[in-house]
Amino acid sequence: MNVLLRGCIAFCCGILLHKALPEHWLPVINGPIMGGVAVVFIAFFFLVLFSRGNRYSSGTLMIVLFAGLGWLRTPPAVLEQDWSQLTAYEGVVVSPPETRTKTYKVEVELRRGKWENSWHPMQGKVLIYLDKMAEKPRYGQVLLVRGQPRRVEPQQNPAQFDYQKFLGQKQIYHQHYLKATDFLFTGDYQGVWYKSWAFSVSEWSDAALRRLVVPNREYAVAKAMILGLRDEMDSELIQSYSAAGAVHVLSVSGFHIAIFISILTFMLKRLEKRRYGRWLSLGITLITMWFYAVLTGLSAPVIRSALMFTIFLLASPLKRKENGANALFGSALILLAIDPLLLYSVSFQLSYAALGGIIFLQPVLYQYFTPKTWLVDKLWEMTTVALAAQFITFPIAVYYFHQFPTYFLLANPFVALLATAMLPVAMVALVLSWVPYLSILLGWGLTGITWLLNEIVIWTDLLPYSTLKGLSLSALELGLVYGIMFMLLALVYYRQIRWGGYALALSALLCGLQLKEMVYFARQKIVVVHSVSRQSVVSLVNGKEALLLADSTFFKSNQQPFNFYLKNFYDERNVRSILQQPLVSSVNPSRFVKNLPFGKLIVWHGKSILLVEESVQKTVPPVADYVVIRNTAFRKVEELLPVFGKQKLIFDTSNKFYALENLRKQAKELGLPWYFVHEQGAFLDFL
């Protein structure tokens, strides 16, 4: 096994182990681990120096050493000690501002905080949303803020995107929404010069691109492809790119860097034949590549791709073997050593999986067909690249996004060709954006290429069954799928039948798990009262069918609330048929719903749910299995107890938050079994 690969795996194991253990254990364990790493390092050094023949022992020590280093490099979660009395705090803007509809979003690194009348040092980061009525923040500015940030709320619905976990992987655990009167800029600057320069160049590029590409849709895609910023793109267009299997072009990554290197290599071929030509060509390529990284604001995906290609390119003039595997694992190890939490980044996982597929699998696929013409050869090469990248990344995509693009092979050659044309045109257009008339012509050309790219992607999305949806993999199944893939690759590389046997064994285990899940999902019965802001949403699941009851506004919102709050839950539970029922009296109720003077009664496969929408004056007998209070029908305990007694009541998120404050306190004092979705998240009951 590749030495760098072993080091990478061990380093990753150290990171994962650190995050898996409870936070309060870490201070106790860190000391012994630090001492153990020091001992192992000394032992490894002497073993390598004086006992070169003992490869087994040195290899074992190296694995232990890298695992320990991975542990020690992983930062602990920075949680608040006591912020309840915090009245103000000061911090530095450490990210470029992201423009949203009504706010600017920035990351702020804390410096100090004020408790009562004294200031004390603080650490950690806060995600701050600034009112657009105020001055636009810039990287490095120092903010003085009144008030205290709030903890980012945990996941409120089953299988919903966990924003708290996502931010936690960036060491951000708090957020703060600020009006223009809640903060001020002190006038101090504490930014790092090279980051400030990179963000300024990226901002200038964005402004130039806005002048060059006038149509909003084309500008949004050009900005995403060239600068890696998707804030102008709407969700429908992103979904179209996802359905075409082309969403990777919207995130500046190794694909874009590879295009630049290919073009530069072609242009500098003659230069390499001269004396010192290879070094000169390398210098021009590296400068251009890293300038492009600066152009994107030194975004993490570009930095990791540029680093990997830098290692790869340096191999040639140094007369080393150009080993893509060494470049891949070496760059991953360096990046993880700098920021261990990158391991949890989906873009990091997809990027390295795709590059691994291209390095290891693409040559195997390419050799099965030998084209006789240059054009067919290039098309076949692009097809095998797309196949290799998609094959290796599809388990991760299914695990996180629960879908797969059906026509990716149809769209990817065109996407690759247009992207290859678009990137150099865009670079030239940005460099010459100050030249009158010529910049207009280049802008037209860039707009035309982007328009054609969008049309191809949208056309692909409109094809029948363009996306296989509702797919789901558990973490264990994801590991088994990759295990099968690696066994099959080993079978191809080493030509040993035992690898095929391992693949069959893992396949049998995967099939067994899938069969067990199919039986379980066919028998499942679940009642869910979802947490959706200011709305009532109830799911009643029976097997692979579900009855979805919600306010009419929920169904009129162009699927966005459904996709955000519910889609992953239905995919995870293998629900295939959803019957939608709006909760309005004017709509004829289905056979499951009966209108009552004060609400609705739902009967679903032997279970009954009473939705109470208006105040009830008389006692309601406990005939329903579940009672859901909605639309702030009650405000006082005295109104509820005579009607429902001590039945378990569920207060959904259509109730006004402030109206529930008093109810929540009284229910806690009286020991009433009431469930508040606002506070406790979605209500689930597995029957």
Let me know if 526 is exposed, middle or buried by CB neighbors in 10 A (0-12, 13-18, 19+).
Answer: middle
Q: In the listed set 73, 106, 122, which residue is the last one of a domain according to the structure? A: 73
Whether residues 511 and 541 fall in one domain: no
Q: How far apart are CA 540 and CA 573, in angstroms?
A: 12
Nearest to 617 by CA among 594, 648, 642: 642
Q: How far is CA 530 from CA 76, 155, 422, 553, in A?
A: 32, 11, 44, 15
Residue 81, domain member (yes or no): no
pLDDT of residue 478: 93
What stretch of H or E contains 228? none
Residue 163, domain member (yes or no): yes
Backbone torsions φ then ψ of 93, nearest 5 degrees: -70, 120
516 close to 501: Cβ distance less than 8 angstroms = no
Question: Partners of 86 in the beta sheet?
Answer: 115
Residue 171, domain member (yes or no): yes
pLDDT of residue 525: 92
Q: How far apart are CA 573 and CA 527, in angstroms?
A: 12
Whether residues 446 and 571 fall in one domain: no
Is residue 674 helix, strand or coil? coil
User: Token pair of 441, please?
Assistant: 């012509």
Give CA angle at 571 (565, 572), nearest 5°. 95
| pTM, entire model | 0.83
Whether residues 148 and 187 fall in one domain: yes
Residue 216, domain member (yes or no): yes
241 close to 460: Cβ distance less than 8 angstroms = no
Q: How far apart are CA 606 and CA 595, in angstroms?
A: 18
Backbone torsions φ then ψ of 71, nearest 5 degrees: -60, -50
Look at the block and give the residue holding tokens 């890293």. Answer: 290
20 close to 70: Cβ distance less than 8 angstroms = no
pLDDT of residue 455: 93
pLDDT of residue 158: 92
Whether residues 501 and 619 fall in one domain: no
Query: DSSP string of 603-659?
Result: EETTEEEEEE-S---SPPPS-SSEEEE-TT----HHHHHHHHTT--EEE-TTS-HHH
Whether residues 56 and 68 fall in one domain: yes
Q: How far is CA 275 from CA 104, 271, 281, 315, 628, in A?
A: 52, 9, 11, 18, 81
Residue 80, domain member (yes or no): no
Task: Count the domains in the chain.
Answer: 5
User: Token pair of 6, please?
Assistant: 């072993």
Within the chain, which residues score under 70 in pLDDT?
1, 22-28, 30-31, 36-59, 77-82, 315-323, 557-558, 585-590, 617-622
DSSP 22: -
Whether residues 42 and 161 fall in one domain: no
User: Token pair of 465, please?
Assistant: 């069954």
Question: Partners of 548 in the beta sheet?
Answer: 539, 580
Backbone torsions φ then ψ of 369, nearest 5 degrees: -145, 135
Whether residues 664 and 598 fall in one domain: yes
Residue 489, domain member (yes or no): yes
Whether residues 242 and 111 fall in one domain: no
Residue 499, domain member (yes or no): yes
Whether residues 461 and 482 fall in one domain: no
Whether residues 500 and 570 fall in one domain: no
Whether residues 345 and 436 fall in one domain: yes
Q: How far apart are CA 183 and CA 176, in angstroms?
A: 11
Residue 78, domain member (yes or no): no
pLDDT of residue 682: 93
Q: In the listed set 17, 39, 73, which residue is the last one of a domain according to the structure? A: 73
Nearest to 222 by CA among 457, 454, 462: 454
- Which residue type is seen at 196? S
pLDDT of residue 23: 66
What stretch of H or E contains 111? strand 103-115
User: Token pair of 372, please?
Assistant: 């006789």
Nearest to 40 by CA among 57, 19, 21: 57
The length of the chain, given as a count of residues:
687
pLDDT of residue 135: 86
Q: In the listed set 148, 169, 191, which residue is the last one of a domain according to the structure? A: 191
DSSP 532: B
Tell me the pLDDT of the chain averaged across its residues. 84
- Which residue type is seen at 73? R
pLDDT of residue 93: 94
Parallel, antiparallel, or unpaired: how do β-strands 577-582 and 545-550 relate? parallel
Task: List, for residues 402-428, the tens digit of each pLDDT value.
Answer: 888 888 888 888 888 888 888 889 888
User: In which domain, by residue range, is 510 found?
Assistant: 475-521
Whether residues 364 and 215 fall in one domain: yes
